Amino acid sequence: MPIPRRVAAASPYLLSVLLLAAGINHFVNPEAYDRIIPRALPAPRTLTYVSGIAEIACAAAVAVPRTRRVGAWATAALFVAVFPANVSMALDGGLPDSDGLLSSAAVAWLRLPLQVPLVWWAVRVARGRAAKHVV
């Protein structure tokens, strides 16, 4: 399906902004991320910060045309790597000890299939296809 030219041109930058916002949120609200780290993994706070740094690094790499390809592949890998945390959150019934819509079990389960288009988006950017097939 053709992608409008402006959207295609903006795609890497939109992905970069998404990653940057998520990465920053790991430092602003680390408790939420700590709680979704699978229990089998050690040092949840350290992993929260490491994943936040990884998202910020991917954001920077995707934003720069010279490093975009490697940054987008790293982003796709990161989205796959954090999937177990999203599964853990869904199995635990959402964010424990949190209130509000985004902490609900239904939202946690709905987030799981959203990883697929995120990985697809990163792969398209990595392959330089975000700007192809435009109208």
- Residue matched to tokens 């992608």: 3
Q: Are 63 and 10 in contact (CB under 8 A)?
A: no
- Backbone torsions φ then ψ of 36, nearest 5 degrees: -100, 0
pTM for this model (two decimals): 0.83
pLDDT (tens place) for every residue of the chain, 135 residues total:
566 677 778 899 999 999 999 999 999 999 988 988 888 899 999 999 999 999 999 999 999 999 999 999 999 999 999 998 889 888 888 765 555 555 678 888 888 999 999 999 999 999 986 654 443
Q: Are 131 and 11 in contact (CB under 8 A)?
A: yes
Q: How many CB atoms lie within 10 A of CB 73?
A: 18
